[in-house]
Amino acid sequence: MLVFNQLSELRQWRKELALQGKSLAFVPTMGNLHEGHIKLVEEAHKYADVVITSIFVNPMQFGQNEDLDAYPRTFTADCDKLKAVNNHAVFYPNAKEVYPNGLDAQTYVEVPDTAHSLCGEATQRPGHFRGVSTVVTKLFNLVQPDVAVFGEKDYQQLRLIKTMVADLNMPIEIIGVETVREESGLAKSSRNGYLTAQEKTLAPALNQALNLVKQAVLNGSSDIDALEKLATEFIDEAGLKTDYVLVREATTMEPIADSHKEIVILAAAYLGKARLLDNVSFKR
C-alpha cells in the first residue's frame, strides 16, 4: 500500500493514474479506523479501479474547546486495517501543507443553509461545517477522485457535500453508505472510544429513541413537537444529555409537511466525554 505525506507525491501519482486510464475512488477520514470506515473502503472498490483513503485530523472543523489534541491518532493500526481490504493508497498529509496560509486564510467554502440553520449544529459547533466543506474541497482538489464515499452516520455532512458538489460543478460522484452499528444498535464512531464500559451500556438509548419516533411516525403520529419531546425525555432518562432530536424531510432537512414522504430523524447527545450522533431515514 502506498503512503503519501507530500502533496507533490500525491499529484504525481494522480497524473500517472490518469495516463493509465484508471478511475479513482476516495474515502476521506480522520483516522482511528473502525468497521464503519472499512465498509466505506469496501464500497469504494465497487466504483473505481483504485481506492485512496485520507487520514487527516482537520483542525478547521474543531471548535476551540473541542477534542483536537485528544482525538485518537492510530496511524499504524489504521494502515493494517486498510491493507486488509486492499486499499491502494493512503494520503496522510500534515496540517502545514493542507493549510499553507494557516487557518485564518482568506478563502474558505461554506454551504450556508447547512452551516447556519440546521439541527442545532450552528449553536453547538459553530464553524464546524465550514471546516468540513473547506477541507473536503481541498482534499478533492488534491486527490481529484472520480467518486467519493461518505457515511450516512454523518447525515448532515453527506447532504452538505452533495449540495456543495452540485453547486460548484465538481465532477465527482458522491456515494452514501449505510451506518455500521454495534449489535446494541449504537452507531460505530471513533469517539465511542471515549466512553467508559458503563457509558457504553447507556449509549444505545440514542438509537432506541430514534426507532421509537420512527415507529410512531409510521403508525400515523403527526404531532412532531410531541415526538421530538418524547425522544428527548427517553434519551435524557437513559443518562445522556440530548443536544437535539429533529424529524425532518430527508433531502432538504426542512420541517416536515403532510406531503413529505421521505423522512429523516436526526439526533445528537452528550455522554461522558463523547458527543454521539445518529439518524434513521425511511419512507412513510
Ligand X SMILES: CC(C)(CO)[C@@H](O)C(=O)[O-]
Residue 180: which of ligand ATP, ligand X, ligand BAL, none does it interact with, CB under 5 to 8 A by kind? ligand ATP
Please pick, from the candidates 150, 186, 206, 232, the single residue that binds ligand ATP as defined by CB under 6 A.
150
- For residues 70 and 194, what is the distance between their CA atoms, to the nearest angstrom? 10
Please pick, from the candidates 121, 154, 228, 243, the single residue that binds ligand BAL as defined by CB under 6 A.
154
Count, residues near ligand ATP per rule CB under 6 A = 18
- For residues 8 and 280, what is the distance between their CA atoms, to the nearest angstrom? 41
Non-local CB neighbours of 163 within 8 Å, separated by 6+ positions: 111, 113, 114
Measured CA to CA in angstroms, residue 100 lies from 6, 7, 138 at distances of 13, 11, 11
**Residue 166 grid cell:** 452540485
Q: Is 188 exposed, middle or buried (0-12, 13-18, 19+ CB in 10 A)?
A: middle
Is residue 152 within the footprint of ligand BAL (CB under 6 A)?
Answer: no
Please pick, from the candidates 30, 98, 119, 240, the single residue that binds ligand X as defined by CB under 6 A.
30
Active site residue 37: yes
Is residue 154 within the footprint of ligand X (CB under 6 A)?
Answer: yes
Scan residues 59-78 and list those touching ligand X (CB under 6 A): 61
Minimum distance from CB of 245 to ligand BAL (Å)? 18
Scan residues 37-96 and list those touching ligand BAL (CB under 6 A): 61
For ligand X, the closer of residues 29 and 163 by Cβ is: 29
Is residue 170 within the footprint of ligand X (CB under 6 A)?
Answer: no
Q: Are 242 and 218 contacting, i.e. CB atoms less than 8 angstroms apart?
A: no
Q: Which of 37, 45, 116, 128 is catalytic?
A: 37
For ligand ATP, the closer of residues 248 and 275 by Cβ is: 275
Residue 216: which of ligand BAL, ligand X, ligand ATP, none does it interact with, CB under 5 to 8 A by kind? none
Query: Helix or strand or coil: residue 26?
Result: strand
- For residues 249 and 192, what is the distance between their CA atoms, to the nearest angstrom? 28
Q: Which residues form the catalytic set? A: 37
